[in-house]
């Protein structure tokens, strides 16, 4: 039987200088030999994150397996989080390869097709997603703080360049191209030039990327006036970088573009009155439901969900559907004894996984320390006069880039020891209060809950819900007893059952 191998690292530094790819490949090859599989092909994903399925080698892998499904029996990976760190993506990929008749095997994790094996894989997937969410949350919080301080956190727009301040923090500064930004606003501010005319003038001046879309983005970007507009905060925030144009010039341009006073308040993406909009499916035509307010004969307004497919008449009152959905969510909330057993299993799995994570963390810390020591030696040589200023700058800049990349890598693999307790407490609270949390949350969080529990299609008709798929972890935890889970309690743990 033949096998394919998929290996992935998430930063270019790991891909170019780390051992991860080679280590994964070696472990996967040994596993294949032990299991009696012949390795047909290896797919190496260098420096691409597992946050989405939009990855070069993953696409190549899926295409290759689809074309060669008759000769490929298994896909071997080092860990499931190499395939995907998002539980929903992981489930989708398992389905895709399952339809091709290709089994996915992990070198370091449980591969049993029993209820226990499936649940453990889901637990591991939940942890991978939790870690990813924690990192994302920390990054977002850091960026929010930076934005509040007036620091732009993303790529520099045309007219600016990436730089660093005296504290070595990122800062954008005006570049040579800033003169074209000034010229564009000056011409547009007069009201005598159309955007296409300004585009032609910029192209003649050497701005090859100038086109109507480029011009519109430039004229509506408040960064040029020393202002930051971000969806996290209402209105504008004064930036610390040097503006290229005045705020008066910028707002005059906005009035010319819109013909009205500029709104400083961001618009919401979702309607808070209809959390189930575009989530529930029509039981008649399979289309996604929308939500709307209508006015009755007595001029009283009422809300309802309905199908907007032409010719389809499905309609249900908002209060009826959301009340029924609330009760349906309550049916997925587990009993305390089931939840306690779940906690013990998670701790056992965590202990096994933590040792590998700590090894990786220590390796990266050691490499980071070596780079920092090298930087200190270079600084000392500069102070002693051994290095010229040019040689010091060349070597120091390269080292700083290496240190920065290594710090990013360390942040990716680092897990605080308290995270497992926080994760467990959060998970237990979440699954025990699923319906109430959904009812009391804002629309964005409600929709995240909905998609987590019901990753596939869900329908409602005549007081009954049906769905094409529920997240496995909720199916397992909703069982009436541990025996239904086909689970064995961890050593030293004796669950107490009701009745």
Of residues 238, 235, 219, 248, the one with CA closest to residue 159: 219
Tell me the CA distances in angstroms from 24 to 15, 413, 463, one per residue in order. Answer: 12, 15, 51
Per-residue pLDDT reduced to its tens digit, 56-90: 888 899 999 999 988 999 999 988 878 877 777 77
Query: Residue 358's CB: how many other CB atoms inside 10 A?
Result: 14
Both 94 and 166 in one domain: the answer is no
Do 8 and 91 lie in one domain? The reply is yes
Q: Does 10 share its domain with 96?
A: yes
Looking at the structure, do residues 10 and 76 belong to the same domain, yes or no?
yes
- Domain count for the chain, please give it: 2
**DSSP H or E segment with residue 23:** helix 20-35
Phi, psi of 304 (to 5 degrees): -155, 155
Determine phi and psi for 105, rounding to 5 degrees: -120, 135
Return the ∠ at Cα 416 (arms to 410 and 418), rounded to 5°: 175
CATH label of the domain that carries residue 95: 3.40.50.1390
Q: Is 244 helix (H, G, I), strand (E, B) or coil?
A: coil
| Per-residue pLDDT band at 335 (split at 50, 70, 90) | confident
Residue 406 falls inside a structural domain: no
Q: Do 247 and 174 fall into the same domain?
A: yes
CATH code where residue 208 lies: 3.90.1750.20
Q: What are φ and ψ of residue 396, in 5° steps?
A: -70, -40
Q: Angle 4-10-16 (CA atoms, 0-180°, nearest 5)?
A: 90
The mean predicted confidence, pLDDT, of the chain is: 79
Last residue of a domain, one of 90, 108, 126: 108
Query: Is residue 418 one of the residues assigned to a domain?
Result: no
Contact 222, 188 (CB under 8 A): no
Tens-place pLDDT, residues 370-395: 888 888 887 777 777 776 777 777 77
DSSP conformation letters of 361-424: HHHHHHHHHHHHHHHHHHHHHHHHT-S-HHHHHHHHHHHHHHHHHHHHHHHHH---TTHHHHHH
Q: Are residues 96 and 9 in the same domain?
A: yes
User: Final residue of a domain: which of 220, 236, 258?
Assistant: 258
Alpha helices in 149-241 (DSSP H): 178-189, 195-204, 212-219
Q: How far apart are CA 156 and CA 225, in angstroms?
A: 14
Last residue of a domain, which of 108, 142, 171?
Answer: 108
473 belongs to a structural domain: no
- Per the domain annotation, does 30 fall within a domain? yes
Tens of pLDDT along 272-328? 788 888 889 999 999 889 888 888 777 788 899 999 888 888 999 999 999 999 998
Q: Is residue 423 part of a domain?
A: no
pLDDT for 374: 85
Q: Do 12 and 93 have their domain in common?
A: yes
Closest alpha carbon to 16 in 308, 302, 405 = 405
Residue 486 has pLDDT above 70, yes or no: no
Pull the structure tokens for residue 303. Answer: 């809300």
DSSP 449-484: HHHHH--S-EEEETTEEEES---HHHHHHT-SSHHH
pLDDT, mean of residues 239-246: 91
Cβ–Cβ < 8 Å for 8, 28: no
Q: Are residues 26 and 96 in the same domain?
A: yes
Stretch 422-435: mean pLDDT, rounded? 74
The answer to whether 458 touches 324, Cβ cutoff 8 Å, is: no
Task: Give me the pLDDT at residue 333, please.
Answer: 80
Answer yes or no: do 172 and 248 share one domain.
Answer: yes
pLDDT in tens, 16-56: 544 578 888 889 999 999 999 999 999 998 866 656 677 88
In a domain, 24, yes or no: yes
In terms of Cβ atoms closer than 10 Å to its own Cβ (0-12, 13-18, 19+), residue 41 is: middle
| Same domain, residue pair 93 and 171 | no
Given a cut of 50, whether residue 8 has pLDDT beyond it is: yes
**Do 101 and 196 fall into the same domain?**
no
Establish if 35 belongs to a structural domain. Answer: yes
For residue 247, is it within any domain? yes
- Domain boundaries, position 27: 2-108
Instruction: Please give the C-alpha separations between residue 62 and each of 5, 18, 85, 102, 122, in angstroms, as whole numbers.
Output: 12, 26, 17, 11, 22
DSSP 79: -
């Amino acid at each position: 039987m033949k096998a394919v191998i998929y290996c992935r690292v998430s930063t270019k530094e790991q891909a170019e200088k780390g051992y991860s790819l080679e280590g994964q490949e070696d472990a996967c090859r040994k596993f294949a030999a032990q299991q009696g599989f012949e390795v047909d092909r290896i797919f190496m994903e260098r420096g691409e994150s597992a946050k989405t399925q939009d990855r070069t080698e993953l696409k190549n892998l899926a295409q290759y397996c689809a074309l060669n499904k008759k000769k490929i029996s298994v896909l071997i990976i080092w860990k499931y989080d190499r395939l995907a760190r998002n539980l929903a993506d992981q489930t989708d990929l398992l389905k895709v390869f399952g339809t091709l008749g290709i089994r996915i095997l992990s070198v370091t994790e449980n591969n049993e097709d029993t209820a226990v094996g499936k649940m453990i894989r889901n637990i591991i997937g939940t942890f991978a997603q939790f870690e990813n969410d924690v990192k994302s949350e920390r990054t977002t919080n850091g960026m929010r703080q930076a934005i509040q301080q007036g620091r732009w956190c993303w790529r520099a727009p045309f007219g600016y360049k990436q730089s660093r301040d005296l504290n070595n923090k990122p800062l954008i500064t005006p570049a040579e191209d800033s003169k074209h930004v000034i010229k564009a606003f000056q011409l547009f501010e007069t009201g005598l030039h159309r955007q296409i005319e300004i585009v032609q003038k910029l192209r003649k001046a050497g701005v090859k990327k100038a086109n109507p879309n480029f011009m519109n983005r430039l004229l509506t970007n408040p960064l040029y006036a020393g202002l930051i507009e971000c969806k996290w905060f209402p209105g504008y925030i004064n930036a610390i970088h040097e503006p290229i144009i005045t705020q008066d010039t910028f707002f005059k341009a906005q009035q010319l573009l819109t013909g009205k006073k500029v709104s400083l308040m961001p618009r919401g993406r979702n309607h808070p009155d209809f959390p189930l909009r575009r989530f529930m499916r029509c039981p008649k035509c399979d289309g996604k439901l929308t939500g709307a307010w209508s006015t009755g004969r007595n001029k009283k307004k009422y809300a309802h969900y309905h199908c907007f497919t032409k010719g389809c008449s499905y309609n249900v009152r908002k209060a009826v559907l959301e009340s029924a959905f609330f009760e349906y969510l309550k049916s997925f909330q587990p009993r305390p004894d089931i939840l306690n057993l779940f906690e013990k299993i998670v701790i056992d799995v965590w202990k096994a996984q933590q040792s590998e994570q700590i090894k990786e963390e220590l390796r990266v810390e050691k490499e980071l320390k070596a780079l920092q020591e090298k930087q200190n030696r270079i600084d000392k040589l500069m102070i002693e006069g051994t290095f010229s200023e040019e040689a010091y700058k060349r070597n120091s800049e390269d080292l700083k880039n290496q240190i920065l990349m290594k710090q990013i890598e360390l942040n990716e693999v680092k897990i605080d020891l308290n995270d497992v307790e926080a994760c467990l407490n959060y998970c237990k609270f979440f699954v025990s209060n699923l319906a109430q949390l959904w009812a009391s949350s804002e629309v964005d969080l409600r929709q995240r809950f909905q998609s987590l529990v019901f990753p596939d299609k869900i329908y409602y008709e005549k007081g009954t819900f049906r769905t094409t798929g529920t997240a496995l972890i909720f199916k397992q935890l909703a069982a009436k007893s541990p025996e239904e889970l086909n689970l064995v309690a961890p050593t030293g743990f004796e669950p107490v059952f009701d009745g």
